[in-house]
Amino acid sequence: MLTLRTRLVLVNVLVFFLTFVVLAALLAGQLIFHLYEQFDRELVRVSMPALEHVRPVSGTLTLRDPEGRLMAELGEGGFARVLDAQGNVVEGVGDYHAAPVIQRTLAPASNGVIGNQRLDSGRVVRVYTRPLTAPFDTRAAVLGYLQVGKVPEEVLEIIAQIQRSLLIALPVALLVVGIAVLWAARKALLPLTEMTRGAAAISADSLADRRLPIPRAKDEIQALALAFNATLDRLAAAFARQRRFTADASHELRTPITAILGQAELALSRPRTPDAYQESLHRIEDEAQRMQRLVGRMLTLARAEGGQQVLEFVPTDTVALLRTLTETLSAQHEGAGISFVLDLPADLTIVTDADCLTQILLNLLENAVAYAGDGAVDVALQVEGAGVRIQVSDSGPGIDPASLPHIFEPFYRVDPSRQRQSGGVGLGLALAHELAGLLGGRLEAANRAEGGAQFTLHLPLKPPAGASAAPGI
Ligand code: ADP
């Protein structure tokens, strides 16, 4: 497995290598092409006077360079020669035997052909081949060919020089690029290494106070570190909540268990009358029921928090539901002086999970009844935007402002002594808050200006995207 750094270096060096080679080939190719163009023009110019000296003498072609001017121009290794129409060498000057005749260069129709020819000695000669026709011959019958060869020494030297330079420059450039990329990659990835080390050192115990180092550069790695730390914050909060929940739950469970054990021990301490036994059993039953309620709510809350609550979104008439719940509660608290004041439209149907909504509303209404004393409980339902707003307000003492931010925490109670008397376990609002979220809404708590608490439940008309909807909805 290659490390990220190695891969970065390899890819960069490879891309650089390819770019370098292509660019060098293009530039060198262009330069060599121009050099040969220049050389060829010169070769043609040099061969012009020779063309005038080629004369058919008694039917054969002869080449003359009496003053050696042609050879002076062609230099060492150069030559000039005439060939007959079949390509046989007739006559020449200079090193003209060294270059074998290449038949395909003998093209009668052309103005001349120029090409490199490698000799047996290894030397390269550039040869210009030109067909010869008799002057004023309208049929342009080819009498033979003039060939002029010259060693393109300067061009070859420049090519060799380019090759030498590239052979040195390429490895050096690759090395420099490799080192630079390695350095940059190491510098860029160093924070990652530190983050890995930091992350490895974080355990469940150090989750609360250990965070990853944040790199100074505002880049993707810094964003990653920030996101990771934010995740750790959320995890730490969830962990703390979980710990508190477990501690509170154990504490809550201990109270009824102690009461049950106390009652049982008391009843068993000496023989008693059947009435006394019955009374003890009733107390035990009360406490057991309290425990059952507590455990039931804990389970529901755990399921809701863990996203395991199965929701079935169906059209639900909220007005009818509120009427049924308030009527039931009125009947239960008959004679307690509680009165519900309803402010509801004729009907209002939303798509939601009816069981969840019932649990939330029942909780709010039961609390309102419990705290309102003998006052009135107002229940209002209104459409707001793409949702509805259900408000349950009472005329009780309200909620201590310092407690408002904590009111939805599990086991939170403003006044524990009073709560225990009323049989509450401090999980109702936490559960209602969690369920409201599951339904795509939210639950808010406030105090009314005129006194008393007010709980507002906001719910969407339709379930949120991604919620598990019942088939057909
Ligand atoms: P429980 O299940 O014990 O009723 P809740 O979670 O419903 O507990 O309520 C938590 C706390 O919120 C209670 O201890 C109480 O102090 C406070 N509370 C809830 N409803 C009201 C209200 N209508 N008026 C005043 N205080 C309230």
Alpha carbon 376 to its chain's center: 55
Contacts 24+ apart (CB under 8 A), 215-218: 215/191, 217/191
Protein residue whose Cα sits closest to atom 8 of ligand 1: 426
Distance CA 261, CA 266 (A): 8
Query: For position 470, what pLDDT does the model report?
Result: 42
Contacts of 263 (CB under 8 A, 6+ apart): 280, 283, 284, 287
Query: For position 229, what pLDDT does the model report?
Result: 93
Distance CA 391, CA 455 (A): 6
The atom number, within ligand 1, closest to the CA of 414 reads 16
Q: Whose CA is closest to 368, among 316, 324, 424, 406?
A: 424
- Ligand 1 geometric centre to CA of 370 (Å): 9
Q: Whose CA is closest to 155, among 28, 69, 70, 50?
A: 28
Distance CA 429, CA 407 (A): 7
CB half-sphere exposure, 39, CA atoms < 13 A: 24
Q: Which residues of the chain fall short of a pLDDT of 70? A: 57-59, 135-140, 415-424, 466-473
- Ligand 1 geometric centre to CA of 445 (Å): 10
Alpha carbon 222 to its chain's center: 14
Contacts of 62 (CB under 8 A, 6+ apart): 54, 55, 56, 82, 90, 91
| Contact by Cβ (8 Å): 83, 151 | no
Report which DSSP code applies to 169.
H
Protein residue whose Cα sits closest to atom 26 of ligand 1: 399
Q: Whose CA is closest to 91, among 61, 118, 58?
A: 61
Query: For position 245, what pLDDT does the model report?
Result: 83
Rounded to 5 degrees, φ, ψ at 244 are -60, -40
The atom number, within ligand 1, closest to the CA of 368 reads 23
| Contact by Cβ (8 Å): 313, 351 | yes
Query: For position 138, what pLDDT does the model report?
Result: 56
Protein residue whose Cα sits closest to atom 27 of ligand 1: 399
The amino acid at 246: T
Query: For position 424, what pLDDT does the model report?
Result: 66
Angle at 144 between CA 138 and CA 148, to 5 degrees: 120
Query: For position 469, what pLDDT does the model report?
Result: 45
Identify the three-state secondary structure at position 234. Answer: helix
Q: Whose CA is closest to 35, among 132, 137, 161, 184?
A: 161
Contacts of 6 (CB under 8 A, 6+ apart): none
Query: For position 279, what pLDDT does the model report?
Result: 92
CB half-sphere exposure, 202, CA atoms < 13 A: 20
Q: Whose CA is closest to 345, among 324, 365, 320, 363?
A: 320
Query: For position 270, what pLDDT does the model report?
Result: 92
- Ligand 1 geometric centre to CA of 314 (Å): 29
Cβ of residue 413 lying under 6 Å from some atom of ligand 1: yes
Identify the three-state secondary structure at position 42. Answer: helix
Cβ of residue 394 lying under 6 Å from some atom of ligand 1: yes
Query: For position 307, what pLDDT does the model report?
Result: 76
Q: Beta 387-394 vs 60-62: how paired, if at all?
A: unpaired
